[in-house]
Amino acid sequence: MAGPYPIRGSVSLPEAELNWRFSRSSGPGGQHVNTSDSQVELRFDLANTAALPPVWKERALARLAGRLVDGVVVVRASEHRSQWRNRETAAVRLAALLAEATAPPPKPRMPTRIPRGINERRLREKKQRSDTKRGRSGRDWS
């Protein structure tokens, strides 16, 4: 999978703004794990990018504030033994992360009133239940 990586709509991440780093991955792999740099670290400078619209960039910077280091988002992938598959995984994860972070906020919920008929029926049933329970007491039996 080569860039550009789509985020949402026509907006995508250009390959030129992605910074890749590779290192040896931990975990199973036998002798292969000691010789290949299959772990992928993908860095994207969110603060200085021109690929995102300004509104999306502000939204993403606010939502990902706890995850940013000097305005840079870092995504790591080391699940696969292949560097190429880890690159794909990291790019898809970054695109999904940015798509979620740049999504518009949900519409505010409009508070609704309970219809009068429903409230009256609830009170009527409550009264009937109360009368039933009150009728069970043996006070008035002579």
Q: Among 76, 11, 18, which Cα is nearest to 44's?
A: 18
pLDDT at 116: 94
To which H or E segment does residue 135 belong?
A: helix 116-136
Averages of pLDDT over each 10 residues, the chain, 142 residues: 72 82 71 70 87 87 87 87 87 90 90 93 96 83 57
pLDDT at 43: 92
Under a CB-based contact definition with an 8 Å cutoff, are residues 1 and 88 in contact? yes
